Every structure is written in C-alpha cells, then in structure tokens.
Amino acid sequence: MNGKVAVVGVGYSPLARDSQRSVGSLALEACREAIRDAGLDKTDIDGVGGIFAADLPTVWPAYVIDGLGLPNVLWSTCAFPPSINAVVEGINAVFSGACKYALCFHAKYRWDSTSASAASDPMRRAPWRIPLDGSLSLPMVTPHGGSHPYAAAMHQHMDAFGSRREHFGMIAINNRTQAQRNPRAVLQEPLTMQDYLDSKEIASPFCVYDMDVPIDGAMAVVVTLADRAVDCARPPVYVEAAANGASSPNDMMLFSDQFHVPYEKIMTALWQRTGLSIADIDVANIYDGFSILTMGWIEAIFSGRGEGAACIEDAWDEVQQQLRFLGRIPMSPHGGNLSEGRLQGFGHLNEAVLQLRGQAGPTQVHGARRALVTNGMNPVCGAMILRSENA
Amino acid sequence: MSLNKKPILRMSYDTEAYWMGCQRQELLINRCMDCHAWHHFPRWLCPVCWSEKIKPVAVSGLGKVVMFSLTGRRPVAWIELVEQVGLRIYCALVEVEPSNVRIGMEVRLGWEDYGESFLPVFRPLNNTGASLGVDK
Ligand SMILES: [Zn+2]
C-alpha cells in the first residue's frame, strides 16, 4: 500500500462484560462513531466489511447498512476472523476503486454458547445457530472428548524451548498494566506475577490469565484513499503495508509443526513490502487471544523461533510491570484482548490509529510514528504497519 | 431494566419491548423521538437521523397487504402500516380464504394466543372479528 490508503475514522461502542444491550446496538454505535469521527455522513459510506464471528451469530454488513440507513453502498463483504481481515478487505476495496469509503466493523457478544454464565441469561440466547467447522474435520476429533489445544501448544513450547509460566505471565501482566491506563478496558485491577502463578490452571499449564476476556462490544474504522483522507476530520493514519495468510499444513485440530510459519511469512512480507525493520516501529500491538499466540508473534517479530522467552525476559521492566522490546517498544498500550476485551484483535488496530494521531489519551506513547498491529493464529492471521502523517 | 424472562421467546434488549407489548396485546413499533420516523424491526438507533432517542409506540393496527405468500398452512403477508409509507410488519393473515387475499387489501390488527405470548395477526378490515377472542 505504501501509504496510498489511510484510516480516517475509528469508533467504539462501550465495552463491558454485561452491556445490558443488544449486539446489534453495539455494532451500530461503533459504526456510527467511526463515520462521525471521520467527519463523514451516511451518504459518503459506499462500502461495508464485517467479520464472520467465531461466536455465532454474526452481525452481517447488511444489518449495519440497514440499521444506519446507508443509501449508497456498492461493496460489502464478511471476512473470516481475526478482525484485521475486514480492514484488509476494506483497504483492498478502496485501493481497487470498488468503493471510496469503506466502513469495517466487528461486534462481539457473550452469546449463550460463550460460557455457562452467559447461557443462564435469557437475553443472550442466540436467535439461530449455524455449526462452524471451516476445517471440515471436527467429526474426526470430537468423539475423543474436550481438549484445550492452546494449553497443549503452550506446553509444547515450554517443552521444546524451555519457556516457563513466568514468561507467559509477563505477557498477561504487561497487558493488564497497560489496561489500567485505558478507560475502555474491561479488566483493570492490577495483576501480579504471584496472582498469575497462583491462579488455578484451567488446562495445565494454562490459566485464566492466558486467555482473552469475553465481552460485549464493537469497534469500527473507516478507510479511504490517501488523497481523500486529507479532507477528513482527523489526521490520516496511513497503511504502509498489510498482509494476511496461512501456512500449509494448517489444520487447527492437529496442530502441525507449522506454529511459527504464518507469523514468520507475514512479518517477512511486511518488512519486504515496506523496506522497514523493527527499528522503525514505535508501538507493537501484538495479538493475544491466547498468550501462546503472543509468544509466537514475539518470536516472529523480535527474536526468532524458540527465543521468545529470553526476549521477553530482556524486555521485562520489573518496576513498571511491563514489556519494552529493544528497550523502548511497548506492547499493546490498550491492554489487548486479555484486558481491554475480546474483539478478536480490532482493539489492536483502533489503538494503533489513536496512537499515531497522538489521541490515545492516557495510553499515549510519546512521539509514536509507526505501529505494528498483528492479529490471529494459525491458520488465519494478518498484520499491518501503520504510520502517522508526521512519519 | 425489568425483564419478564420468558423461557421460549428469544428476545434481545432491542426486541424486549416489542415482545412485552405482545403479551399485553399491544403492537409497539419503534419511533424516533427526534425526527419522528418509525422503523421495524426494532433497532437501537434511528436509521434516518441516527438518534438513539427511540421509543416503542403503540400503532393503530391499520394497514394494507403489500406482499403475501400462500405456501404455509395459512396466508402470511407483509403489511404496510398506515403510520408511515414503507413501514412493514410480517404477520399471519386470518379470517380470509387464501384465494381471496389481494395486494392492497386493507387489514387490521388482532391477537392470537401462542402460549407463552400473544402474537399479532391481521384480518381483512371489513371483517367483524367475532371469531377472534381479542380485538384492539
Ligand atoms: Zn430519527
């Protein structure tokens, strides 16, 4: 992209464990706020991209188009998660000329299928269910009973590379420390290493702090071409490069040895497409649906395979209780999915935009000019490098 | 928010008022308190002016058939309510022979007991409605 496309609006609904609102209302609010943030109105938006939710049902782009009364939409899609994929689609749509202003959104809800507590709330009953088995392989594994593949992957990493629970704890604590500066974050109470280590393991070696927090919430952005972006209300944040992809073999159920491959492929693509390196990055919003996924990204971005634990130790600031990679790069100033809440990576992107505008408020990284945003896991992940208008 | 948590109705915070109205045999349609536009299905904000000052308001129950289907056990219709051009609700048609249903037919609201809730139905405006237990 090399700066030819820009993010010009960001929007949030309230984020909450129990919003006392419908998921549709959250989607509409986030989208309305993103359009207003850009200084645009309903007639300007001619593209809408959503995300097929991992917790069903999905709020379709059509719901937003109808709910906001958008009269001029010529392009819409519903991409596979993680969240960044909707925005990559939107970037491609404005770049190709399919639309001028693409509204990209994601809404998450604690549906009755999310947890036992949600299941006991009659207002969380999903109106419809569609089985989700994109790998066409669930019947091959379900007869053997429940498992937690990410706990198994974490154990495998510890066994192969000597990482310890403390290293994953530093990821979780960093994000909680950061979240305490983010008024939107759902989890703000301080988290100590002792809290982390004492926490009951849900599936050894994995505890509740290793997984993102399910919430009600929605986020949205508006993207457009750079020459239109300068006429919008806010400072444009330019897309230097975006990539998404997967490795093969990639079956989530079998967890092949390809754990690192998609992260490495995507990061290689981003550096090659931009000519940039990690030295050019001021803030890194690294995906944290599970802490083991953050470990995978950290190795692809900073350290190389198997060196993540040592890299995290080097980056750990015991006084500040946070990570600073290369002595300076903070990770996820918003608190990530682990603490801001589970928007499947959308918060990582919105935070990057606010950082690069200099409008991140209490979480602002002074002088941030370029941000790296990563989303997802094998088999589907994506990442983006964004820059401020001053870079 | 007070919730009458019925076990079978799948209501959301957006549709709760509609369903609670059904239980009282009152057809509530969302109306914008800023621009006064009506909308259905129930949404959190006004699709016309984006205001979130939305109020479920009882409608007259008068309308006309704009589309209908005869494939089910009885006719169903898309009914445009008199309150606003384009304001549609989807309901069963009762007290009319399928072969007599017409586009443009004027209809009015009645209610049927579905157990956990009353549901709106419509019947031809000129029917007396004597066979329906409830009439609004
Ligand atoms: Zn209005």
Q: What is the CATH number of the domain that holds A225?
A: 3.40.47.10
A110 touches chain B (CB under 8 A): no
- Residue A23 belongs to domain spanning: 5-111+215-229
Gap between the Cα atoms of A307 and A343, Å rounded: 28
Q: Determine the Cα angle at A256 with ends A254 and A257, to 5°.
A: 155
Enumerate the residues of chain B whose CB falls inside 8 A of the CB of residue A42: 50
- Summarised one tens digit per residue, pLDDT across range B50-101 is 999 999 999 999 999 999 999 988 999 999 999 999 999 999 999 999 999 9
State the residue for tokens 């508006």.
Answer: A222
| A98 domain-assigned | yes
Gap between the Cα atoms of A312 and A322, Å rounded: 10
**Residues B33, B90 within the same domain:** no
Enumerate the residues of chain A whose CB falls inside 8 A of the CB of residue B14: 22, 24-25
Split chain A (391 residues) into runs of 10 and give each run's mean pLDDT: 94 97 97 98 98 80 97 95 94 97 96 88 79 71 74 92 98 98 97 97 92 96 97 97 83 71 93 97 97 96 97 98 98 98 96 98 96 89 95 83
Number of domains in chain B: 2
| B112 domain-assigned | yes
Provide the shortest C-alpha distance from residue B81 to chain A (in Å): 19
Nearest CA in chain A to B41: A67
| B4 domain-assigned | no
ipTM (interface predicted TM): 0.90
- Summarised one tens digit per residue, pLDDT across range A158-185 is 999 999 999 999 999 999 999 999 999 9
**Residues B67, B110 within the same domain:** yes
Instruction: Kindly determine whether residue B47 and residue A68, on different chains, have CB atoms separated by under 8 Å.
Output: yes
**Residues B113, B82 within the same domain:** yes
| B110 domain-assigned | yes
**Residues B66, B53 within the same domain:** no
| A80 domain-assigned | yes
Stretch 125-164 of chain A: residues touching chain B, C-beta under 8 Å: 125-127
**Residues B84, B53 within the same domain:** no
**Residues B88, B122 within the same domain:** yes
Enumerate the residues of chain A whose CB falls inside 8 A of the CB of residue B12: 22-24, 123, 127
Number of domains in chain A: 1
- Residue B32 belongs to domain spanning: 12-58
Total-model pTM: 0.94
